[in-house]
Amino acid sequence: MDTFTTLVVFLYVISVYRVSNARDTITVDLVIRDGETITSVGGSFELGFFSPDDSNNRYVGIWYKKVSTRTVVWVANREFPLTDSSGVLKVTDQGTLVILSGTNGIIWSSNSLQPAMNPNAQLLESGNLVMKNGNDSDPEKFLWQSFDYPCDTALPGMKFGRNTVTGLEWYLSSWKSTDDPSKGNFTYRLDPSGFPQLILRSGSAVTFRSGPWNGLRFSGFPEIRSNPVYKYAFVLNEEEMYYTYELLNSSVITRLVLSPNGYVQRFTWIDRTRGWILYSSAQKDDCDSYALCGAYGSCNINHSPKCTCMKGFVPKFPNEWSMVDWSNGCVRSTPLDCHKGEGFVKYSGVKLPDTRNSWFNESMSLKECASMCLGNCSCTAYANSDIRNGGSGCLLWFGDLIDIREFAENGQELYVRMAASELDAFSSSNSSSEKRRKQVIISSVSILGVLFLIVILTLYVVKKKKLKSNGKVKHYLEGGEANERHEHLELPLFDLAALLSATNNFSSDNKLGEGGFGPVYKGILQEGQEIAIKRLSKNSRQGLNEFKNEVESIAKLQHRNLVKLLGCCIHGNERMLIYEFMPNKSLDFFIFDQMRSVVLDWPKRFVIINGVARGLLYLHQDSRLRVIHRDLKAENVLLDSEMSPKISDFGLARSFGGNETEANTTRVAGTLGYMSPEYATEGLYSTKSDVFSFGVLVLEIVTGKRNRGFFHPDHGYNLLGHAWTLYMEGRSLELIDPSMGDTYNLSEVLRTINMGLLCVQRFPSDRPSMHSVVLMLGSEGAVPQPKEPCFFTERNVLEANPFPGEHMLFSGNETSITLLEAR
């Protein structure tokens, strides 16, 4: 062999050696610096530092190695980017993966809580980054894995659902934008309420759902079937519920992605020329928009109009349907009467309704299912839970049937409860369906003939009412003639007669509660809308101020985590505020009650904490004026039908303009146990006083205990002092409310406790802003260590009254306090 041949062979051997020994592991002694990477053993995935397009921020991520266009599938520090190239990725002796900044120390940690021996992190060929002990490759013994914390991408082999024992949830959250990997507005997760289904949300609002799993596919995905690219499965047992998929051909590259604009799409890589192509999309057309046709409405994309009422139902508000607004859905032509005999109408080829208010039994037959539904007056429909082999299992619905659509193929059968008098009509209706269709067309044309006139008249009346309402509200608030320098409040004025009718003359049966402002009633307007009415007590001087302040403060505030003010009523001496109705009352109704608290597992509590945080962030930073609430507490957090939180009661709120950040008052008003020390003793309030109240609320949500009136046999501290003591002793787990069972994510709840203690620190400057709080809640990174909070009690507050000539009043059965001027 000549010299040249020998050299070629030598170089070839070296290159093979380097490829075969490509580094795929990080050990305690070997770190990854910015500019360095590791690659999975088969060369499919690479891990290192990167910057998104049009961004100078640096992140640690995993991307496809064999794809020419860098496609990132996972990001570690998505909420905490580096601003320079000083970053280092390191494995600690304790078995955690950390990202170090040259200037800020640890900015992200994997937070592994298991004991480690010779730990190392390995990038697997699946794209999963795992932390393990030595060479132990048993997935059950991994200390940590990136597959447990997905970002916007679901890879083959990844679970998509939740572990009901540990509370760990696997779900997708969108990037904020194509150049910002921080958590965006969209989440796609398996909802465990009723029979599980995948739900896409924008914030807390549902925008799409998959329908329940039927043994072959999700009900809303008729196109899913056996294919040459991947196989899929759904697992539902006592410990886990999740969807997963596996590749049939390892050479195929495919991924499921939640885009920044809220689309769930599957992409497949073809080649360098054609790149990624769209293989399928969860949202196919308008009928996939959640509840487009409202309750008991059915959507068919091939029909015009798309929405129709189900058999035996009619539009709730026909005029709205004429204007192509179907959101309020349909109502029964003949109301149900359980004691007069009822039956079921069969629908075929449909996407099953929303199953969050459903019950299921996988061992019952369809006949047994029908019998059970018929025997329960609250049951509105039933179906097989599994359609394989002729069908099996029972799925029952309770309440309205929402988000139904018709499919040309692979739809399911649904049996809807109807009044007995309607059943005979349906048996003869099939023969005359064409005739009825023509009648509907003729009726629609007739309605359209007068639509233009109706619209013109409606706009004219609405404009007149709005001008009249704004004038009255404005005149009342200013106490006299309108002043040109005040802007008009676009707030509807409700008629007293309508509110009397809605509340049955303010019947005690309609009363929801009472506060310092006055009583609160539930009402139902003539068109069916549920409302809550705060009626100013005639003897409440403070309530009059609150009424004015509430109208002025939140008339133009709009956020999904703030209760919506619909209007007001000013009639003689009557002063009322009308709000959207919250069916699940307030947060205190659940968390401080031993029986009801079990409804709020940790995932629900964490959603509530996040929602309140985002509502406060909007008030402090994103609203028209900087608003300080001044009375944030569990009683003022209302819960909607999905248990999403909405901050309420802005009677004590104050707004700042320009560069104002704090103010003093000689009229301190708020609630003992939630008031910050500087506000209670000095009258100084700012955004940081709201942060303090939020911290108290967080600790109450975690523990299920009130800060005010907290008792512990070992010491005399309030809840804040108790939480601080356990935190310093490393015993924070003892704070967790036992009623949550094992639903909590350990690292998540410990991070939340830490964040809550940061918010209640003694000095305002030490407390984080709500912007920082939201970031901490949404990340897995390390949270700073808090300083000792202020353990002040009512006695401290009373003894520290700093306002000469003034006194503090509070009643034995109320928690709110007020400093009033001496007279």
What positions carry a catalytic annotation?
A: 631
CA–CA gap between residue 429 and residue 480 (Å, rounded): 64
Q: Are 122 and 211 in contact (CB under 8 A)?
A: no
Residue 349 in 3-state DSSP? strand
Alpha-carbon span 720 to 726, nearest angstrom: 10
699: phi then psi, degrees, rounded to nearest 5: -65, -35
**Separation CA 478–CA 488 (nearest Å):** 12
Transcribe 569-612 into DSSP letters: EEETTEEEEEEE--TT-BTHHHHT-TTGGGG--HHHHHHHHHHH
Beta carbons within 10 angstroms of residue 575's beta carbon: 24
The three-class DSSP label of residue 434 is helix
Contact 502, 579 (CB under 8 A): no
Left, alpha or beta for 294 (phi > 0: left; psi -120 to 50: alpha)?
left
SS3 string, 643-655, reads CCEEECCCCCCEE
What single DSSP character describes residue 409? Answer: S
Q: What values do phi and psi take at 481, rounded to 5?
A: -65, 145
| Peptide bond connecting 212 to the previous residue in cis, omega within 30 degrees of 0 | no
Which among 741, 425, 768 has a CA at the least distance from the CA of 597? 741
C-beta neighbour count of 129 within 10 angstroms:
26
Please name which of 822, 805, 748 lies closest in space to residue 781, comparing C-alpha atoms: 748
Cβ(154)–Cβ(127) under 8 Å? no
Burial grade of 749 (CB within 10 A; 0-12, 13-18, 19 or more): buried
Tokens of 37: 């990477």
Pairing of strands 264-269, 254-258: antiparallel
Bridge partners (DSSP) listed for residue 231: 246
Q: What share of the chain is helix, strand, coil (3-state, %, to 5)?
A: 30, 30, 40
* Residues near 456 by beta carbon (within 8 Å), at least 6 away in sequence: none
* Position 391, amino acid: G
How far apart CA 622 and CA 645 sit, in angstroms, is 18
Strand partners, 579: 532, 565
Place of tokens 């013109």: 456
* Of residues 203, 169, 112, the one with CA closest to residue 158: 169
Q: Are 97 and 109 in contact (CB under 8 A)?
A: yes
Q: Per this entry, what is the length of the chain?
A: 823
Distances (CA, A) of 804 to 147, 339, 678: 61, 69, 17
Q: Report which secondary-structure segment, H or E, holds 70.
A: none
- Which residue type occupies 649? D
Q: Provide the token pair at 44.
A: 């499919």
Phi then psi dihedrals of residue 197, to 5 deg: -155, 155
Of 581, 580, 574, 551, nearest to 496 by C-alpha is: 574
Q: What is the DSSP letter of 621?
A: I
Give dist(CA 576, CA 523) in Å, integer: 13
Write down the residue that tokens 């202020």 correspond to. 790
DSSP E strand boundaries for 237-341: 240-247, 254-258, 264-269, 276-281, 297-299, 307-309, 313-315, 330-332
110-to-146, 373, 666 alpha-carbon distances in Å:
9, 48, 48
Q: 266 by DSSP, 3-state: which?
A: strand
